[in-house]
Amino acid sequence: MINDNGIYKGLLEARQRGEKRLAVLFDPDRLRLKRMEQTLELAIRNGVDYFFIGGSLVVNNMLDSLLAQIRQQCPIPLILFPGNSFQLSYRADGILYLSLISGRNPELLIGQHVISAPFLRMSPLEIISTGYMLIDGGVQTSVQYMSNTYPIPAHKDDIAVCTALAGEMLGLKTIYLEAGSGARIPVREDMIEAVRGAVSVPLIVGGGIRTPEKVAANLKAGADMVVVGNAIEQEPALIGEMMAAVKEFQPA
């Protein structure tokens, strides 16, 4: 039995009601304590929906203590967003079980999953299988280099659509369009719209999103959840404006 901590159910229900979600990404390697406190405080005050925790390469040993620290200070669900099978911890609530379906690297399509399966099977984490699609963001990002895969070209909406369709038909529970952390060009709204029109599972979009306007545009194009890392890390006060953009979509 896969654990149900209510995360995926919550996502599906939000989608049915036409509500949108914002996740703030924490990279355990890049936390500065002062900003962290401020970020947590703003996240609680503005009702951030999830924290994603992970990075393409985590070089410190902070994952457990980071999760414990956040958990102590706030009730926002913690979802692992692992770059590899070393970034696992029982202290989170869930994990995006990412299969890099835009790439042709078998390790990231199934290899790492086989390695982590027994650990996850015993864990209290909710496992959310995710079709992870890397889209060209105009610069070579860590995830591209580390995954040793080519991203889908930014203007090839048809390839993105067919990839997402295949992911959904394989039974993956969400599709994640990722331009890569620090992308110069985030995923285009046209591509989001095309993918949204093709699949019905929840659609997550992230990478290079820096403004509340882009958050709003992505949600309007059909994303169910937007993920923001760098921009909030550099300017935590953006949380308020970005959450305001998300709340615009709440049904009356």
Q: Say whether residue 49 binds ligand 1GP (CB under 6 A).
A: no
> Is 14 within 8 Å of 21 (Cβ atoms)?
yes
Residue carrying the six token digits 């399509």: 109
Pair type for strands 78-80 and 50-53: parallel
* Nearest in space to 210 (alpha carbons), one of 189, 241, 247: 241
Candidates 67, 217, 219, 227; binder of ligand 1GP (CB under 6 A) is 227
* Pairing state between β 50-53 and 21-26: parallel
Window 135-194: residues binding ligand 1GP (CB under 6 A) = 178, 180-183
* 67 vs 179 by CB, closer to ligand 1GP: 179
Single out the residue of 165, 230, 241, 249 in contact with ligand 1GP (rule: CB under 6 A).
230
135 residue type, one letter:
I
Helix%, strand%, coil% for the chain, nearest 5: 45, 15, 40
Q: Which of 103, 202, 207, 236 binds ligand 1GP (CB under 6 A)?
A: 207
List helix spans (H) across the chain.
7-17, 33-46, 63-73, 106, 112-122, 142-147, 157-169, 189-198, 212-221, 230-234, 238-247
Considering CB under 6 A, how many residues would be counted as binding ligand 1GP?
Answer: 15
> In whole angstroms, how close is the CB of 17 to ligand 1GP at the nearest point?
24
Binding residue for ligand 1GP, selected from 228, 242, 245, 246, defined by CB under 6 A: 228
**212 forms part of the interface with ligand 1GP (CB under 6 A):** no
Nearer of residues 125 and 226 to ligand 1GP, judged by Cβ: 226
The CA angle 9-51-28, to the nearest 5 degrees, is 140
Nearest to 168 by CA among 221, 127, 131: 131
Among 22, 24, 164, 209, binds ligand 1GP (CB under 6 A): 209
Task: Report, in Å, the least distance between residue 57 CB and ligand 1GP.
Answer: 13
Stretch that binds ligand 1GP, among 99-107, 192-200, 224-232, 240-248 (CB under 6 A): 224-232
Q: Which residue is associated with the tokens 């979009």?
A: 205
Told to check if 208 binds ligand 1GP by CB under 6 A, we report yes
Contact residues toward ligand 1GP (CB under 6 A) are 25, 178, 180-183, 206-209, 227-231
